[in-house]
Amino acid sequence: MSTRRAFLGGMAAAALAGSLAGASAAEAQPNPASAARLGLKGYDPVAYFTLGAPTPGLAEHELVWDGVRYRFANALHRDLFRADPDKYAPQFGGQCAMNMANGNLRESDPTIWTISNGRLYVFASAAGSQRFREEAGANASRANGNWQNLKKTTSQ
C-alpha cells in the first residue's frame, strides 16, 4: 500500500515538475532503464552546487537524462535536476574536462571537480584540474569543440 502511494505521489510530482520544466528537461525520465550508464559514478550532480561537495546519490532517487542515469542524495535534488538539467549536468558527459580540452576521452574521478562559469567540470586527476583552472575559459572552449566530435564515441 505504501509503495503504491509512493509511486502515485512520485508520478504526481513528476507530472508537476514536467509541466513546469522547459524543453531541456523533456528528456529527463523517472524510473530509469537499468541499461543507462551511471553518471558521475553515482555521485549527485546537484550536490556540487547546493552542498559544495561531492555527495553519493541513492538508487531510490535516480533519473535518466540524455542517456545517462544520475543518482541524487534526495528527492529535492532529483527534482531540481529534472527542472533544469543543463544547469546541473556535468560537462562533456562527465568525462575529464582537461583531457577533453586536449582532444581525449578519459574517465573522470567525480571527487576532483570545479564549478567554473556556472558549469560543473570533473577531472581524472588533481593536476588536470589545476591546469584546467589556470585558463578555464580557453580550456572550456577547446573542450566544447572537441566534445562535439568525441561525444559520438562515448557509450551514452
* Radius of gyration of the chain, Cα coordinates, nearest whole angstrom: 16
Cα dist. 112→69, 117, 123 in Å? Answer: 20, 17, 6
- The CA distance from 47 to 55, in Å, is 6
Cα dist. 87→7, 10, 145 in Å? Answer: 27, 22, 19
Strands 68-72 and 37-38, by their bridges, are: parallel
What pLDDT score was predicted for residue 34?
61
Q: Which three cell numbers stand for residue 153?
A: 564515441
Say if residue 7's pLDDT is above 50. Answer: no
In sequence order, what DSSP letters do the residues of 39-89 get, joined into one string? GGGGB-TTHHHHTSS--B-EEEEEEEETTEEEEESSHHHHHHHHH-HHHHS
Half-sphere exposure of 152 (CA within 13 A, CB side): 4
Percent of the chain with pLDDT over 90: 69
Domain ranges of the chain: 2-88, 91-153
Output the pTM of the full model.
0.77
Collapsing DSSP states into helix, strand and coil, what is residue 123?
Answer: strand
What's the pLDDT tens digit per position in 24-73?
A: 443 555 544 567 899 999 999 999 999 999 999 999 999 999 889 999 99
Beta bridge partners of 69: 38, 64
Say if residue 111's pLDDT is above 50. Answer: yes
